[in-house]
Amino acid sequence: MSAACASARTAVYRRRRPERTVLYRTVQTHLATWLELSCDSRQGASGPAHVEREFRRYLECGILAHGFARARCAECGHDFLIAWSCKGRGVCPACNTRRMVETAAHLADHVFPRLPVRQWVLSVPKRLRYHLEHDPAIETLALRIFLSVVEQALRLACPAAGSSSRIGAVAFIHSFGALLNPHEHFHCLVIESVFEADTSGTDANLKRAQALRQAVLARVFAPAGATCAGQIEQTVAPA
């Protein structure tokens, strides 16, 4: 009976207090020092502007002094304050979690069909990462080459697929590594099938892929890595 009563209780809003967390206190205490040291290590050049912006927005997220909304219950008259959020993508755990859950729900409910989905990750050599971070055209080139290789692998795993078959994928671009170091790489969610347009061109027919074998992956990705790196190096090479 107690369990039933507990499940029937109305959820109570409790304002989160990021200023009490270890992460917030650490960033608040050491951000200025870290930015100064980062500038010195770059010989006077400041670090990426978006990194500093994310940290400063995080320090304002959930803090009433930086803005809030006032909510009032129409039934009991009780009111409370809801602090504004930063809606950042890099540092804030609360906003990152909210965005992650909302994005996953949207993809599962409205984008992906009920088919197996595999995550593919592309990380480029260190000598090329700078160019990906600072040139959107090179970033797009690397992602396009990578997805074309994945598409080729899925075609080989699906004997019934023709040369015009296409994959379904969603790509996420990550701009930093586990240590918050600049490290641009790609996480791609790819449906384990290919699609072919029907004769009318208004609909697509599904061609299910067989299990991807190591031999197929090696056959496709071994030369593709060199091709991708070569094209990027050729693009960034001085004229």
Tell me the mean pLDDT in the region 157-180: 87
Beta strand ranges found along the chain (DSSP E)? 68-72, 79-83, 117-123, 169-176, 182-191, 193-197, 204-208
Start-to-end CA distance of the chain, whole Å, equals: 78
- Categorize the per-residue pLDDT at 215 as very low, low, confident or very high, splitting at 50, 70 and 90: confident
pLDDT above 70 as % of the chain: 91
pLDDT at 1 over 50: no
C-beta of residue 53 within 8 angstroms of C-beta of residue 35: no
pLDDT band for 87, please (50, 70, 90 cuts).
very high
The predicted model gives 105-119 an average pLDDT of: 94
Calculate mean pLDDT across residues 187-209: 86
**Where is average pLDDT lowest: 19-23, 59-63, 110-114, 161-165?**
161-165
CA angle at 150 for the pair 147 and 154, rounded to the nearest 5°: 140
Query: What is the reported pTM?
Result: 0.76
| Residue whose C-alpha is closest to residue 197's, from 188, 185, 206, 184 | 206
**144: Cβ contacts below 8 Å, ≥ 6 apart:** none
CA distance 26 to 41: 21
Q: Which pLDDT score, from 0 to 100, does residue 156 have?
A: 87
Q: Using alpha carbons, select from 199, 191, 106 the residue that is nearest to residue 151.
A: 191
Domain borders along the chain are 18-83, 112-232
What is the predicted pLDDT for the residue at 159?
Answer: 84
CA distance 88 to 93: 9
> Is residue 60 scored above 80 in pLDDT?
yes
Region of poorest pLDDT, from 2-6, 70-74, 180-184, 211-215: 2-6
What's the average model confidence in pLDDT over 116-139?
A: 88
**Is-contact 140 171, C-beta < 8 A?**
no
Mean pLDDT of 24-36: 94
Q: Which residues, 6 or more positions from 129, have their beta carbon under 8 angstroms from its beta carbon?
A: 182, 183, 184
